[in-house]
Structure 1
Amino acid sequence: MTSGAESGEPEGLFDAPGRETGRAAPPAAPAPGGGGPKPLAVRMRPRALDEVVGQAHLLGPGTPIRQLVDRDVPMSLVLWGPPGTGKTTLATVVSQVTSRRFVEVSAVSDGVKRVRAEIDLARRELGMTGRQTVLFVDEVHRFNKAQQDALLPAVENRWVSFIGATTENPFFSVISPLLSRSLLLTLEPLGDDDLREVVHRALTDERGLDGTATLDPAAEDHLIRLAGGDARRALTYLEAASLVVDDGGVIDAAVLERAVDRAAVRYDREGDQHYDVISAFVKSIRGSDADAALHYLARMIEAGEDPRFIARRLIVHASEDVGMADPTALQTAVAAAQAVEFVGLPEARINLAQAVIHLSLAPKSNAVIVAVDEALGDVRKGLVGPVPGHLRDAHYKGAAKIGHGEGYKYAHNHPGGVVKQQYAPDPVDGREYYRPTRHGAESRFTEVLARIRSVLRDR
């Protein structure tokens, strides 16, 4: 790959293309090295920080990126976030607004030889002209340890301002010496309002569609759902749909479906569809129908439901509907929720599906939720009573004088670790909240609990 400075092409992908007369949206200049027009997502990339949509927590006054731009000081950054959240955008804007030389290296297609060559060129440029270089490494997590090591001298000596972009957790995918020499900035998925602003700008801006197509509200809602917080995906789908309609035409839901081959799922995340689908999802798991549960899972994912919401429901129902019949169900649900945080969609769909299948096929018991709700019911009725004297705290000075701890039997000193003794306060002594079923692993707790209660109550 030839750098912009060497090829004579505009440095980076954010340089505004030449403007054309007429109403039609100006096709972007050919990509460097030949090739066709630039995609809409590339044409619409911001040219200044004030044009960047979203990531307000990174772009406010006094933030590191503002310091990097306003003070023009060398700084190394690692940008961590999902695809389409603006990592490449921020790197290129930084290079342009500070008039630095911008070099982009892809960890997917470039190796150490390319990295070292760019670093050598940056050193010469810095020595001869004083001009600094922004070395942007996309997908830096794909470099192995040796390849990342090659970046260290340039970062250490500030021959370049290194900016690495990664969709993976950098604490696992970026070597510690490189991470410790860089400032880690975390980007968040764009919200719906942010995506709408991106789409509206692309529809009207002369660098974009320049009014050659309009988007009806239903199609816009579907597009936002499909984008899933990814601005690049939103613009890619919009561009595909604009090619299907005539000049000045309207992009409706049918056009969008045809263009991106994704059916519009009727699903309002704040309306009845949200509650109906999640209700059917939970009841399918409770009813052990894994196939139906997977359908509703797919329906929610496709409609853009927050995967963290789905994961939270799985955690709840691992205890509510499976409980002690399969104690590992809760572990699986929690692991799926962690996978959603660590991995994100689309890959985390697999982890969610595994949890859904596990919970659906597991033996069922609602004994846990019945037990805790009955205990809460008694407390709310006022059945509390004082803590028995022998169970009260006896560690402080003077406790013995008032009888605290007197007569307490230390369970470990008795056979089986269980001894006859009253633990509950008088108003609920003898209450049996937990009634295990004979389902799955819970069946063994039925016998264990019966033996324990017989000893505690000397029955």
Structure 2
Amino acid sequence: MEICPICFKEFQIAELEGHVNKCIFLNSSNVNDNQKKKRPMSPPPLSKSTFPTQTTSPSPNKKQKNRSTISESSTNVVKSMSFLTPLAKQMQPKSLDDFFGQNRVLGKDTILRSLLEKNEITNMILWGPPGCGKTSLANVIQEICKENPTKFRYVGLCAANCGVKDVQTIVTAAKGELKFGRRTILFMDEIHRFNKRQQDTFLLHVEKGEITLLGATTENPSFSINSALLSRCRVIVMEKLESADIVAILENAAVHLGICVVQSESKNCTGVNIEKSALIWLAETSDGDARIALSNLQLVLQHNTNQNFVITVDVIKEGIKKSHMLYDRKGEEHYNIISAMHKSIRGSDDNAALYWTTRMIVSGEDPLFIARRMVRAASEDIGNADPRALQLAISTMQGCQLIGMPEADVLLAQCAIYLARAPKSREADSALAKAKEVIKECKGPQPSVPMHLRNAPTKLMQDLGYGKLEPGKKRTYMPEGLENVNFF
């Protein structure tokens, strides 16, 4: 037997679903007021796991007691632990005071914060890694628009699932709203997914002030956003969140869910508690991504459903591993880390060279890409100071091709350490750059090859003087006019 969560009557399990559907229909908004007054208020719906199972029919008093128990427990569980909407979505801030982190661009006395506090919204491109607060800031701006409905109209789109026609429809409506003094704020998430031609759709309307564009992207705007559009918007650079900021976000989420944050485990705990150290661990393993941290917290809470329970670091570690690491093999971070590795080799810092190499290995970078960059570093930064470095780098690249990952990881580590410790000479690279500069700055045609340096495979070429040095002239190997040039 199971109890109906609407009318609290007992039914066979096979009949319960049909009865609940009937109960919901009778308690819907279409029922007249007289019927609503006769029927008591129903508690929030319960999950199947919370229904008490009875083998025999309870007495009326016992049934009434069960009703009150179910009502109280459902209030505690459903109100505070509802995850029909993801926790990260629930915790999006509604005001600047609720926004954590990004103090460099949204701290006190910053220009952007001052403008938003005055309800002034300008064209912006929000650029930053996932989970740093781009969508949260857009949500704050949306709330500002809601508070000023006669001044602003907010429309949110995502470039991943909309097209130019959707933008044009919004622009058409924005022109009509503008006649009544109402500005349209268009938030375009993942704006980099629009190609350059699609981004041209915004240009004229942003220029005329018909819409205020608020774009969000994880890609470098210098490469992914139309330069003409970029010049009309202010780029807001948002960094990864600090661990302290994510801890504050998690504590705020705990308060929202009715969870008590405690310093250490208590044996006589009431309700769900979580240790502060557990929140710190979640923050430190999220790689600056608040969405990852909140999702992990939600996962832990859904897994541990006991009413009297303390969530510790050990409990979290059982189900969550540190598997998230920001690294896009085609994006900005890809080039940032490979550059850091190369510069660490150049700076003879073997610890840093090994660290950045390992970061790429752990993140799943193509080992041949790392090895090719090491070959370049061996010639560019070490060169003739240690010719064996180039041989080792080439051997490392060939080794990676032969055995692949994960066995090739130690080859890359060995090469990175050797290159960092090797003596440095940038002579070849610097001389090459000077030679290129001389050739580039040459006015008119490039100098001809001196006759005595030319090959003479035929009799005609020999008759023309190919391969012969004119009498009285000194043998030189540079073209005429560049005899005294020194690249070294």
Q: How many residues align?
A: 300
User: In structure 2, the residue corresponding to 1:79 is in which secondary structure?
Assistant: strand
| Residue 168 of structure 2 is aligned to residue 116 of structure 1 | yes
State the Cα distance separating 1:74 from its structure 2 match.
4.5
Unaligned stretches of 5+ residues in structure 2: 1-43, 45-71, 262-270, 325-344, 365-372, 395-406, 426-473, 479-488
Does the C-alpha gap of structure 1 residues 363 and 204 become closer, same or farther in structure 2, counting only changes over 3 Å?
closer
| CA displacement 1:110-146 (0-9 Å, x = unmatched) | 1111111122222222324x22222111111111112
**Residues in 2 aligned to 1:72 and 1:328: alpha-carbon distance in whole angstroms:** 62
1:136 is aligned with what amino acid? F
Query: Match for 2:320 among 239, 251, 260?
Result: 260
The answer as to whether partners of 2:128 and 2:240 remain within 8 angstroms in 1 is yes
2:79 is matched by which residue type in structure 1?
P
Q: Deviations over 1:64-115 (max 9, x none)?
A: 4224323333410001101111101111212312433221111111111111
Q: Which has the higher contact order (CA 8 A, sep 6+)?
A: 1
Deviates most, 107-116 or 250-259: 250-259
- Among 156, 159, 164, the residue aligned to 1:107: 159
8 Å Cα contact 2:80-2:256 kept in structure 1 = no
User: Superposed, which structure 2 residues align to 1:144-159 within 5 Å?
Assistant: 144-159=195-210
Letter in 2 for 1:325: R
Question: Which position in structure 1 is the counterpart of 2:211?
Answer: 160
Matched, 1:55 2:115: no
Determine the C-alpha separation between the residues in 1 that align with 2:260 and 2:208.
Answer: 45
Q: Taking structure 2 as the reference length, what is the TM-score of the superposition?
A: 0.51
Summarize the alignment of residues 11-410 of structure 1 with structure 2, pairs less than 5 Å apart: 22-24=75-77, 26=79, 37-98=84-145, 99=148, 100-128=152-180, 130-206=181-257, 213-245=272-304, 246-260=306-320, 262=322, 297=359, 324-327=387-390, 357-360=411-414, 364=418, 368-369=422-423
The structural deviation recorded for 1:325 is 2.6
Alpha-carbon separation, structure 1, partners of 2:170 and 2:381: 55
Change (3 A) 1:330 1:184: farther
State the 1:39 CA deviation.
Answer: 0.9
Question: Following the alignment from structure 1 to structure 2, what is the Cα–Cα distance between the partners of residues 191 and 366?
Answer: 30
Alignment identity in percent? Answer: 30
Say which SS state the counterpart of residue 205 (structure 1) adopts: helix
What TM-score, normalized to structure 1?
Answer: 0.53
Q: What CA distance in whole angstroms lies between the structure 2 residues aligned with 1:41 and 1:298?
A: 28
Distance in 2 of aligned mates of 1:180 and 1:117: 24
Q: Which residue matches 1:432?
A: none
After superposition, the CA RMSD in angstroms is 4.9
**Larger-gyration structure (1/2):** 2
Q: Partners of 1:83 and 1:359 in 2: how far apart? A: 29
| Contact 1:323–1:367 (8 Å) recurs in 2 | no
CA distance in 1, matches of 2:81, 2:211: 30
C-alpha separation between the residues in 2 aligned to 1:150 and 1:72?
Answer: 26
> Per the alignment, do residues 117 and 215 of structure 1 end up closer, same or farther by CA in structure 2, a change over 3 Å counting?
same
Residue 427 of structure 1 corresponds to: none
Question: Matches of 2:381 and 2:171 in 1, distance apart?
Answer: 55
Q: CA deviation at 1:45?
A: 1.1
Q: Supply the AA of the counterpart residue of 1:232.
A: R
Q: Is the 8 A contact 2:260 2:274 kept in 1?
A: no
